[in-house]
Amino acid sequence: MEFPDARLLIFAKAPIPGQVKTRLIPFLGASGAAALHEQLARRTLATAVNARLCPVQLWCWPDPNHAFFKDCRERYCVDLYSQSGSGLGARMAHACEQTLRQAPYVIIIGTDCPGLSREDLSTACTALAQGHDAVIGPAEDGGYILLGLRTFAPILFDNMPWGSSGVLDATRACFKQLRWRWRELPLQWDVDRPEDVERLLRDPAFDLDAAALANEAPHKSEIP
């Protein structure tokens, strides 16, 4: 491993129909949305583990005992941790604070960005190892797909407009307020809307199982 002192935290939900990718349920159906979520989560895990940059942790919601997470532990050889907190910000804060007590720097990602690459993860690790206070991966929708930290700062998680287009700018403002030096990765996109699914399916590089999604969709003809 190139960065044994780093920790890469993957935040993931169990692929429970009706509880994941809810904005895509009208397009894919509850089971189709869950199937897409599972495919994206497995892709993210494979990318992170195969990169062999640093230890990878899978932070689970709502329960690490779910069969999906147990399978991931065996298949990808990752340790499982419980997300804890009443909202996304609180859960991220808890994970980062706990991990930074044991490691010099931490990187946290979700599972919605299919284009996240080993190069992105390596760039983030390198920036933190070289002394940057933070790294952020901007998303086209105004959020971010990656956050790397050397120091825990509650301001980065409290009262953030999660799920809105203002998260990225609000986080940048926090960096400035903290007088931190940070690095930004190239702009990425994540999968939240029907047009994102269509974009994903059009690109053969992502190798998405379209049949599994179409079989569950309310209107199969809408799936390319």
User: 134-146, pLDDT tens digit by residue?
Assistant: 999 999 999 999 9
Nearby residues of 187 by Cβ (< 8 Å), 6 or more positions away: 138, 139, 140
Residue 46 scores a pLDDT above 60: yes
Mean pLDDT of the region 82-103: 96
Q: What's the pLDDT score for residue 221?
A: 44
Average pLDDT over residues 31-47: 95
Confidence of residue 210 (pLDDT cuts 50, 70, 90): low
Rounded-to-5 percentages of helix, strand, coil across the chain: 45, 15, 40
Please state, in angstroms and rounded to a whole number, the distance separating the CA atoms of residues 126 and 198. 34
Give the dihedral sign, CA 199/32/167/68.
negative
Closest CA to 25 of 199, 193, 168, 196: 193
**Residue 43 to residues 19, 26, 36, 126, Cα–Cα distance (Å):** 20, 24, 11, 23
